[in-house]
Amino acid sequence: MTLHTPKMTEADGRPVIRQLDEAAVNRIAAGEVVERPASAVKELVENALDAGAGRIAIDYADGGKTLIRVTDDGCGMTAADLPLALSRHATSKIDGSDLLAIHSFGFRGEALPSLGAVGRLALTSRAAGHEAAQIRCHGGRIDGPRPAALTQGTVVELRDLFHATPARLKFLRTDRAEAQAITEVVRRLAMAEPMVGFTLTEVGAEDRRTILRLDPEPGDLFDALHRRLTRLLGADFTANALRIDAERDGFALVGYAALPTYSRGSSTQQFLFVNGRPVTDRLLLGALRAAYFDVLPRDRYPAAVLNLIADPQRVDVNVHPAKAEVRFREPEAARGLIITALRTALSGAGHRASTTVATETLAAFRREPAPMQARLAHALVLQAPGPVAGFGERPQARIAEPTTPAGTDAPAPDAFPLGAARAQLHENWIVAQTRDGFVIVDQHAAHERLVYERLKRQMAECGIARQPLLIPEIVTLSPGDAALILSAAPALTEAGLIVESFGPGAVAITETPAILGTVDGAALLRDVLDELADQGSSHQTRARIDAVLSRMACHGSVRSGRQMRPEEMNALLREMEATPGSGQCNHGRPTWIELKLHDIERLFGRR
């Protein structure tokens, strides 16, 4: 294949240095700023927000390739302003004296001239006390300004994007994919500005289809944001989201973060902002992940909408052409606030679990109505002592006292959030009666979480109590595994596990955490090795210790298959109510579900 190279040399072969013309410069700038139609929408909507718009309408056709129109009711521009708006590096956002004093979305003055260089741009605007005017720019050539008709604000119309650079069109995706990208851009900006109204419309050859309509939300920031997120992410998100409002070291963090049991299979419900600017920043995403580190499995992602607020002097937004990344002067302070604020909120949620857990349980019942109702009836009759006609012998079940006689320690059903234990089914599930329904608890998962939280609490307060082994347990490992265990010995010591070298390919366990009781040392070390391998050597020491504690907690918890007495079951329920994070196990799965009586009655057709 022969590549065509433009002649850029003098007669003697020396390369020529030439000044690019304005049109070429604008097309190059457009390649950095305007990657696809969604990029153009982002720039234009941000300009409307900077103009103080209260309502913004976005129209597009053919995925934004043939038409993008943004209409706002902002402050507008005069006829004298319009030519400057199409000049590169002309802006009303900054004066150029301090590139860190940026309080707006835009500041470079590149978007409009870049769009005019690669498309057919028409800009119509009217400022208060002035007549409306319009200016056009086709392929970098400016026409106008001239008088126009407009009541208020600004209308920017961009047609035939990339018509001046047709090669760029080949890299665009399908109309549907580009339309989805536009919708996502508008959704993110609408989250950042809940008090601004947004309308997104797809313009067809014969009709118009409203994709998104969001009225301005009234009330304070949190109320407005809550309602906006309900409309954009659904009622399930806001019903299971925790309010975040924290401040430290000059940074503030506001927004909503979902319970761990509302986790997602991808990061599509993670929306991060810095001073209201949507960003995709590794530091912030890493901090979000770290905050949920010990309450989510590795293949699940937290859902959150968070805005980090900082003095513009402490954050540089001018490090990426699309302004999608930022740099912090004190990155650890920003990261620390996110982790601390989220962990505090999650801890304050106590034993709370996602409402979607019960919804999914009821949905599972409804998939097979007849067999499931029979099984449910079978489970309910387990409270009756002895065989039941039509069902045969009862499976093994531990039955708690069904009533609460005076003078006993059994709690009343409505005395506590998780109710009073009524039965243990299949030596794994505790059934408790609440005021208006019943709760099913996974005894092993719940107790595993409780042991883990106890271990963390002990370590923070006075160090984990250890029990010396009368005879050290020798565990044979591969040379690599033995080296990995010994390299983590200081962290394991903090976790209450003392290991020492015992020759090539072997270690000796001399002490174990007292809270675990009698443990299988070899099995425990295998779990620890798995966790160390998953965490990697670069992971922070405290995070590695917590991960090891989580694995060790499994060895000291109530096992599936163990029968529990009524007082033990009730004690477990009470400790769950008092323990932060007990709504999910160490792997992020729910430890309990609650079914309301009215839902159960509907299953049986009684409502």
Structure tokens at 5: 């190279």
Percentage of residues in the chain having pLDDT higher than 70:
76
Task: Identify which has the larger pLDDT, 523 or 370.
Answer: 523
List of residues 6+ apart from 170 with CB closer than 8 A: none
What's the rounded mean pLDDT across residues 535-554?
Answer: 62
User: What's the mean per-residue pLDDT of the chain?
Assistant: 79
Beta strand segments in 346-459, E: 397-399, 420-425, 429-434, 437-442
Query: So what's the pLDDT on residue 389?
Result: 33
Name the most confidently modeled range: 20-24, 99-103, 263-267: 263-267
Average pLDDT of span 527-542: 61
The residue with greater pLDDT, 251 or 93, is 251
Return the DSSP state at 62: G
Q: Do domains 221-348 and 398-607 have the same CATH topology?
A: no
Identify the sign of the CA torsion 559, 560, 562, 565. positive
DSSP 494-529: HTT-EEEE-STTEEEEEEEEGGG-S--HHHHHHHHH
The residue whose two tokens read 């990029």 is: 39
Report the pLDDT value the prediction gives residue 391, as an integer from 0 to 100.
33
d(CA 344, CA 340): 6
- pTM of the predicted structure, to 2 decimals: 0.69
Please give the DSSP secondary-structure letter assigned to residue 261: G
| DSSP letter assigned to residue 57 | E
DSSP codes joined into one string, 431-450: EEEETTEEEEEEHHHHHHHH
CB 154 within 8 A of CB 72: yes
What pLDDT, in 10s, does the model give residues 45-100? 998 998 899 999 999 999 999 999 999 999 999 998 888 888 765 555 444 444 44
Residues 144-161 have a mean pLDDT of 92
Confidence (pLDDT) at 169: 79
Percent of the chain exceeding pLDDT 90 equals 33
Average pLDDT over residues 333-346: 91
- Phi, psi (5° rounding) for residue 99? -75, 0
Distance of CA 33 to the CA centre of its chain: 27
Q: b/e map of 589-605 (b: 16 or more CB within 10 Å)?
A: bbbbbbbeeebbeebee
State whether CATH 3.90.180.10 applies to domain 22-93+105-214: no
The confidence score (pLDDT) of residue 563 equals 86
* pLDDT (average), residues 293-311: 86
Banded pLDDT at 156 (limits 50, 70, 90): very high
Paired tokens of 97 = 């004296």
Spell out the alpha helix ranges (H) of 305-354.
331-348
| Residue 373 dihedral angles phi and psi, to the nearest 5° | -65, -35
More confidently predicted of 126 and 585: 126
Q: What is the pLDDT of residue 375?
A: 45
Residue 120, C-beta contacts closer than 8 angstroms, at least 6 positions apart: 136, 137, 138, 139, 158, 159, 160, 163
Closest C-alpha among 581, 342, 259, 291 to residue 452: 581
* CA dist list (Å): 290 to 255, 516, 552, 582, 589: 17, 26, 20, 18, 18
* Mean pLDDT, range 449-455, rounded to an integer: 85
The yes-or-no verdict on residue 157 having pLDDT over 70 is yes
Q: How far is CA 300 from CA 242, 266, 596, in A?
A: 18, 7, 28
**Pairing outcome for strands 197-203 and 55-61:** parallel
Dihedral sign from CA coordinates of 312, 315, 316, 319: negative
Instruction: Give all strands (DSSP E) within 314-436, no chain letters.
Output: 315-316, 327-328, 397-399, 420-425, 429-434
Tokens coding 64 = 């934004």
DSSP label of 122: E
DSSP state of 553: H
Q: Is 323 left (phi over 0), alpha (psi -120 to 50) or beta?
A: left
> What is the rounded CA–CA span in Å between residue 430 and residue 558?
12
Topology of domain 398-607 in CATH is formyl-coa transferase, domain 3 (3.30.1540)
Q: Alpha-carbon dihedral of residues 128, 129, 132, 136, nearest 10 degrees?
A: -70
Domain boundaries, the chain: 22-93+105-214, 221-348, 398-607
The count of residues in the chain is 607
In whole angstroms, what is the distance from residue 283 CA to residue 286 CA? 5
From CA 558, how far away is CA 560, in angstroms rounded?
A: 7
Average pLDDT rounded to a whole number, residues 427-434: 90
- Mean pLDDT over 210-231 rounds to 94
Average pLDDT over residues 301-317: 89
pLDDT of residue 264: 84
CB atoms within 10 A of CB 18: 7
525 neighbors 475 (Cβ within 8 angstroms): yes
The token pair at 157 is: 């119309």
pLDDT, greater one: 155 or 581: 155
Most confidently modeled of 196-200, 567-571, 575-579? 196-200
Q: pLDDT confidence of 512, banded at 50, 70, 90?
A: confident
pLDDT band at 19 (very low <50, low <70, confident <90, very high): low
Signed CA dihedral, 76, 77, 82, 87: sign only: negative
Note the CATH architecture for domain 221-348: 2-Layer Sandwich (3.30)
Tens digit of each residue's pLDDT (9 = 90 or more) over 264-288: 888 889 999 999 989 888 889 989 9
Alpha carbon 46 to chain centroid, angstroms:
23
- The encoded tokens of residue 304 equal 């959150």
**CA angle 92–94–98, rounded 5-degree value:** 170
The pLDDT of residue 188 is above 70: yes
CA atoms of 86 and 60, how far apart (whole Å): 22
Instruction: Please give the Cα distance from 306 to 284 (Å, whole number).
Output: 10
